[in-house]
Chain A
Amino acid sequence: MDYWAKGCGLPRGGWYSVGVVALFIVLPFVYGNHDLLFNMMMYLALAQGINVLFGFTGYLPFGYVGFFGSGAYGASLAVLLLHLPPVLALLVGAVIAVLLALLLAPLLRLSGAYFAIASLAASEVVYYIVSNPHLESLTQGPYGISLARAYDADASYAAMVVVLALAFGVVVYLRNSHLGLALQAIREEPVSAEFAGVNVVRERTCAWLLSAALAGLAGGTYAWHVSVFYPKSVFDLNISVFAIVFTLFGGVATLLGPIVGTLLLYGLYNWIGISQPEYFQLVFGIVIVMLVLFLPNGLASLLRRVNVHVP
C-alpha cells in the first residue's frame, strides 16, 4: 500500500491543499473583495465536508446546513452568553454540531433518498427550534444574532483559512488512510466491508461526526465574520445545495474534485449570479441536469477515463 507517497514529504494531495490555502492567505493583499474570498473558502470547506460524508460513505446529507447553522448559533451563543473569546467559541460551535450529529446518528440506518430527506427534515426541525420566538431569551428567536462586540473581519478571515486547511487535512487523510479506504468499501458494499473486517457502524459514524464538525466550524466562523445574521440565513437550504452541487460537479472522493467544482461554480455564481440571477439559475440548472445525465461522477471522472490519477 503506497499510502504515503515517498520523497515529497507530504501525502498525496497535500501540496495542492497547501497551494490553495496559501493562495487564500496571499489573495487579500492583492484583491479587495474579501467577503468573496471568505465565502469561497467557506464553500471550499463545506464541499470537503460533504465530500467526507457523501464521497467516502455514499450518504447524501441534504440537511447538511443544519450543522452549519448549529455551529453558527453554538459559537454565537458561546460569545454572547458564556462570554468566551471567539476562537474558543468556534470550538463550542463545532462541539454543538457534533452533538447534533450524534443525536442524528440513527438516521444512518436509512439509505439513499430516505436518508437525504430525513436529514433535511432534521435540519428544518433545528431551524424551527432555534428561530422559535419562545426561545428569544436564549437564541433571540427569529430576530437573529448580533455579535457586533466580537466583530473582527481579519481574525475571522484567518480563522476560515484554518478551517479550510483542516477540511483539506481531513480529506487528504482519508485519501491516504485505511479509514478512507474502509469508508469507500462501506459505500460500495457494506456487507462485504463487514466481511473484510470493517466495523461499518463505527466507521460510518466517524465520517458523519467529522463531516458535521467541519460544517460546525465553518458555520461558527461565518457567524463571526458576518456578525449579524438571521436564523434563516444560516439554515438556508441553498447552502446545502451549493456545497453538494459543487462537490458533485468536481467529483467526489477526491481532494481536487470539490476544489475545482467550487472554484468554477461559485466563481460563476459571483460573476453572473449576483448581477443577473435569472441567468445564473438557468446556467446552474443546466449544469445540474448535464451533470446527472453525462457526468454523474463529476469532472474528475473525465480525467480518470484517460487514466489520469486525480488526488
Chain B
Amino acid sequence: MSPSALLVVERLSKHFGAFQALDGLSLKLASGEILGLVGPNGSGKTTAINVISGVYTADAGTIHFDGQPVGGLPIHRRAHLGINRTFQVPKPFKGLTVSENLEIAAVYSGAGRDEIGKCLEFLELAPLAGREAASLNSAQQKRLDLARALIARPRLLLVDELAAGLNPAELQRMAQTLMTIASSGVALLVVEHLLSFLRELTSRVVVMDAGREIFEGPLDVAARDPQVIDIFLGG
C-alpha cells in the first residue's frame, strides 16, 4: 500500500499447541490512520495484538515498525520505539495510585509532570489521581490502561475492545478520544466487536476469521460481503 506505512505486518503465524491462532496475517498501517480489526470470538484479534506488541513471538512472518524489523525485540524495547497497547481486560498497577501508574511510564518516555496532568484530564482521570488503581471501576481502569499507554508516547497504539461495557455517553466520548489521538499522528489499530462504535472512528477494517484475513476495505462494504456475513451469523 502506501510506502509511508508505519507498521507493516507480513504473513504472521502463531500457534498454541495444535491450534493455529494466526495463520498468515498481513496488515499495513500509516501514522494517523485508524484501522479496525474485527472478527468473531477466537478469530485471533487479541493474538495479533499480542504478537505485534511482543507479548508472544510469532512462529513465522515479519513485523516492521518504521522500516525496522521488531519481531525479535522484547516488549520494553518495542515500547521504547513507540509501540504500545491496551488490554482487553485492563492491567493497571492495582496497588499503586492512578498518578503513580503514569509516572512509571513517564520515567522511560521522558514525559513531564504537566504531560501527566494533561493526560489525566484528557482521559477524565484527574479527580482520581490519588486513588489506588484497584478502587477504579472497569471503565475507569480501561481509561487508565489507555493513559498508561499514551504517557509512553506511542506512535502505534493497539487497543483491544475498549468499548466493551461502556454506556452510550461513554462510548461517544471514547470515540472522540481515539480520534483525537489519531489526529495527533498516532497510528491506531482498533480491535472491536461493537461495529457502531468502530463506524464512528474509521471506514477501513480488516475482518479476520480463524487467524486469517478474509476481508479488507470499507466497513459498509464488509457488511454486505457474503463471506463476512456468513462468518458473523454462522459463528
- Chain A contact residues, CB within 8 Å of chain B: 1, 178, 181-182, 184-185, 187-189, 191-200
Q: Is the beta-carbon distance between B108 and A192 smaller than 8 angstroms?
A: no
What is the chain A residue whose CB lies nearest that of B90? A192
The minimal Cβ–Cβ distance linking B78 to chain A, given in whole angstroms, is 9
Chain B residues with CB under 8 Å of A178's CB are 104, 107
Is there an interface contact between A189 and B91, defined as CB atoms closer than 8 Å? yes
Could you tell me if A195 and B149 are in contact, using CB atoms closer than 8 angstroms?
A: yes
The size class of the interface chain B forms with chain A is 20 to 34
Q: Report the Cα distance A187→B94, complex, angstroms.
A: 10
- Min CB distance, B17 to chain A, in Å? 21
Known contacts being A184-B96, A185-B93, is A196 close to B55, with CB within 8 Å?
no
Asked whether, in the complex, the Cβ of A189 is within 8 Å of the Cβ of B94, the reply is: yes
* Most chain A CB atoms below 10 A, which of B92, B93, B94: B93
Which residues of A sit under 8 angstroms from B96, Cβ to Cβ?
Answer: 181, 184-185, 188
Indicate whether B80 reaches chain A with its CB closer than 8 angstroms: yes
Q: Which residues of A contact B149 (CB under 8 A)?
A: 195
Evaluate whether A188 and B55 lie within 8 angstroms (CB atoms) in the complex, with A197-B152, A199-B76 already known: no
Q: A1-B113, A182-B104, A182-B107 are in contact. Are A194 and B75 (CB under 8 A)?
A: yes
A-B contact pairs, 28 of them (CB 8 A): A1-B103, A1-B113, A178-B107, A181-B96, A181-B103, A181-B107, A182-B104, A182-B107, A185-B96, A188-B95, A189-B91, A189-B93, A192-B91, A192-B92, A193-B93, A193-B104, A194-B54, A195-B53, A195-B76, A195-B84, A195-B105, A195-B152, A196-B108, A197-B104, A197-B105, A197-B108, A198-B108, A199-B74
Q: Contact: A198 with B113, CB < 8 Å?
A: no
Q: Is the CB of A188 within 8 A of B75?
A: no
B193 to chain A, nearest CB (A): 23
Interface centre among A195, A199, A200 (most CB of B within 10 A): A195
Cα of A275 to Cα of B91 in the assembled complex, Å: 50
Enumerate the 6 nearest inter-chain pairs by beta-carbon distance, A residue then B residue, closest first: A197-B108, A194-B75, A188-B93, A196-B105, A196-B104, A192-B91
Which residues of B63-106 are within 8 A (CB) of A? 74-76, 79-80, 84-85, 87, 91-96, 100, 103-106
Q: How far is the CA of A209 from the CA of B109 in the complex (A)?
A: 26
- The residue that A191 contacts in the complex, of B55, B95, B107, B152, with Cβ under 8 A, is B55
B148 on the interface (CB 8 Å rule)?
yes
Residues of B within 8 A of A188 (CB): 92-96
Supply 9 further A-B pairs (C-beta < 8 A) apart from A195-B85, A197-B107, A200-B76.
A181-B103, A188-B93, A193-B104, A194-B76, A195-B84, A196-B104, A196-B107, A197-B104, A197-B105
Inter-chain contacts of B100 with A (CB < 8 A): 181
Report B117 CB to chain A, min CB distance, Å.
12
A196 contacts B79, C-beta separation under 8 Å: yes
- CB of B79 within 8 A of CB of A189, answer no
